[in-house]
Amino acid sequence: MEFQLSQIENYINMNLQDIKQRFEIIGNSPLLNIALETAVKVSATDITVLINGESGVGKEAFSKIIHSLSNRKHGPFIAVNCGAIPEGTIDSELFGHEKGSFTGAHDTRKGYFETVSGGTIFLDEIGELPLETQARLLRILESGEFIKVGSSKVQKTDVRIVAATNKDLMELSYKGKFREDLYYRLSTVPIKVPALRDRKEDIHLLFRKFSADFAEKYRSKPVTLEPEALNILQHFSWPGNIRQLKNIAEQLSVLDEDKIVNGPELSRVLPPEKPGLPMLIGNNPPEQHFSERDIFYKVLFDLRKDLSDLKTIVFDMMQGNQGNHSAEQMANFTNSFVREEAPIPSKPSGFVSIPSNPSNHTNSNHPNSNIIDITEASAEPESLSLEHKEIELIRKSLKKHNGKRKKAAQELGISERTLYRKIKQYDLE
């Protein structure tokens, strides 16, 4: 313990510039210096570290700094891009597998956590890990234990984990895509690597370094920037960060003949910037997203409610209660009911034709000519249960197609397999 503390003090006292020179870190931004100081402080411990930063900011360089300054520096180090390994094989890559555990497993294989025991493993893009793999990783963090794919034997490993991500893991946990308990285990010490646009004072230094490297590589003069080009360079958003800046420097080193770049020449090689997204004004809640099925049911419910209201009004009129509905109410109802996108059926079900002036069309032979179906026209509220409406639609579609499930499924916009499941679920046999 005393050795670890003294080692931490030695590294803290070490000139930060020496660390930058040793690991080829370029820049004097305060945000960059804070991230480097944090990496140095935690390096001599076995604390799990989570490095946050956009793609291309150099997160892997920080993992190498932590490993190289730690007590594990003589042990193995491996960097694993979790997003580049297929979901079906990532457990085998990380934890190993037994012979015959799955198709193609012809031999027993050791995983990274077994081969890197005593060293450091860098898990880049950890937000891409499947949930099952996250559970296995959590067990390693808690107890240092893991089980190979296809095995029942518990094995031990002594690995320090440094993870990195360009996503908000807490937000992913809210969406159920990342384990919250794993997030807290990983982020014992978080390190935030700043984006290049937040290090404007370092952009020219980086460009000069890259230009000098490519001049040596291609045996040419290094590229220099005129003031206008330098201003454009420093105010560009750099969505690809340092990686993108390096590509631009190489492109200019190869294509520019006189190696003196002005503003228009630089603008031609820079990609167009994405326009800013519209901002929410005030406290309006975010727009909700509905599926096609939700929208269909909503339109159906609105239409049935309008029909129910219309039946109630007509029934009241037949009972001589026209005074209860003012002309303004009728106009408002008509405007809400008659829509271009939802035309009124020519003869809604449940109605009997009613003469426009019942008093002038009395017929003793047809005593019920002015009576509507009271049961249908009652003001009793209808069920708005999605399950009830779904059952009703399935029954109607099956009846329409004489029980032919394939055609009914096509009309309902669902697969035949889903329709079979719904029929069994609702006992509609």
Question: 48, 144 in Cβ contact below 8 A?
Answer: no
What confidence score (pLDDT) does residue 285 get?
41
Long-range contacts for 374-379 (Cβ within 8 Å, ≥24 apart)? 374/315, 376/311, 376/349, 376/350, 376/351, 377/311, 377/312, 377/314, 377/315, 377/350, 378/311, 378/312, 379/308, 379/312
53-57, 209-213, 376-380: segment of lowest average pLDDT: 376-380
pLDDT in tens, 221-254: 999 999 999 999 999 999 999 999 999 999 999 9
325 & 420 share domain: yes
Mean of the pLDDT values across residues 417-427? 81
203 & 180 share domain: no
Report the relative pairing of strands 189-192 and 224-225 from DSSP bridges. unpaired
420 & 374 share domain: yes
Q: Element (H or E) spanning 375, and its range?
A: helix 374-377
Mean of the pLDDT values across residues 15-28? 88
What confidence score (pLDDT) does residue 327 get?
53
CA pair distance 65, 87, nearest whole angstrom: 29
Question: Residues near 257 by Cβ (< 8 Å), separated by ≥ 6?
Answer: none
What confidence score (pLDDT) does residue 201 get?
93
CATH of residue 150's domain is: 3.40.50.300
Report for 8-12, 171-175, 311-315, 415-419: range of highest mean pLDDT: 171-175
Mean pLDDT for all residues in the chain: 80
85-89, 131-135, 425-429: segment of lowest average pLDDT: 425-429
230 & 319 share domain: no
Question: Residues near 393 by Cβ (< 8 Å), separated by ≥ 6?
Answer: 412
Per-residue pLDDT band at 148 (split at 50, 70, 90): very high
Judge whether 185 lies within some domain: yes
103 & 165 share domain: yes
Closest CA to 315 of 381, 382, 373: 373
235 & 379 share domain: no
What confidence score (pLDDT) does residue 314 get?
72
Global pTM reads 0.61
| Residue-number span of the structural domain to which 314 is assigned | 292-425
What confidence score (pLDDT) does residue 298 get?
67
CATH of residue 231's domain is: 1.10.8.60
Judge whether 420 lies within some domain: yes
What confidence score (pLDDT) does residue 165 get?
96
Beta bridge partners of residue 51, listed in sequence order? 164, 191
209 & 336 share domain: no
**DSSP string for residues in 340-367:** SSSPPPSS-TT-----SSGGG---TT-T
Phi-psi region of 144 (alpha: psi -120 to 50; beta: other; left: phi over 0): left
146 & 10 share domain: yes
pLDDT in tens, 339-371: 444 444 444 444 444 444 444 444 444 444 444
Number of domains in the chain: 3
Task: Please give the order of strands across the beta sheet that includes 189-192.
Answer: 77-81, 120-124, 160-165, 49-52, 189-192
CA pair distance 391, 76, nearest whole angstrom: 61
Judge whether 282 lies within some domain: no
174 & 225 share domain: no
Positions of E strands within 228-379: 260-261
Question: 420, 405 in Cβ contact below 8 A?
Answer: yes
Q: Element (H or E) spanning 97, and its range?
A: strand 96-97
128 & 72 share domain: yes
124 & 255 share domain: no
11 & 118 share domain: yes
Question: 80, 94 in Cβ contact below 8 A?
Answer: yes
Residue 397 has pLDDT above 90, yes or no: no
Domain boundary, last residue among 136, 163, 194? 194
Judge whether 279 lies within some domain: no
